Amino acid sequence: MIYVTRREVFSASHRLHNINLTDEENLLLYGKCNNKNGHGHNYILEVVVCGEINPKTGYLIDLKILKTIIREEIIKYVDHKHFNYDVEFMKGINPTTENIAIAFWNRIVNKIPSGKLYSVKLSETENNYVEYRGE
């Protein structure tokens, strides 16, 4: 089994807010990410595909193809957008890094032409990242 990773970066805004909590509780829970009109992050996305090497090409998956899938299914919808207002597939979802990673997984899991999706890693700051493996 071999693992291939494609990294993409994008910038987007979000606001974390739970409507079942008071304004004070939201601020305490989410801090800067609760800012009324949102705020931005420079996100780093890593998509890992695993499987067997194709003996003809020596590749698991052509990274040009993986790059195109990630850009067409994810990046073009989120880069320089506001997760709470602009991104249809995030409608009604609190845009934590966890929830965004799961939504990204669902966008591409059935689109990988060789090998299979192994994980989606998403970092919101340089010191934290979330990883989703589909279960």
Q: Which of 10, 13, 26, 33 binds Ni ion (CB under 5 A)?
A: 33
Segment (H or E) for 101? helix 97-108
Contacting range for Ni ion; rule: CB under 5 A; set: 28-36, 42-50, 87-95, 113-121 = 28-36
Q: Whose Cβ is closer to Ni ion: residue 16's or residue 61's? A: 16
82 noted as active-site residue: no
- Catalytic option among 33, 72, 88, 126: 33
Q: Per-residue contact track with Ni ion, 38 to 77, x per CB under 5 A?
A: ----------------------------------------
**DSSP state string for 16-77:** ---TTS-HHHHHHHHGGGG-TT-EEEEEEEEEEEEEPPPTTTS-SS-HHHHHHHHIIIIIHH
Whether 124 is a known active-site residue: answer yes
Q: Which of 25, 52, 72, 80 is catalytic?
A: 80
- Cα separation, 12 vs 38, in Å, equals 10
C-beta of 25 vs 72, nearer to Ni ion: 25
Label residue 113 exposed, middle or buried (CB < 10 Å: 0-12, 13-18, 19+). exposed
What are the residues binding Ni ion (CB under 5 A)? 33
The set of catalytic residues is: 33, 80, 124
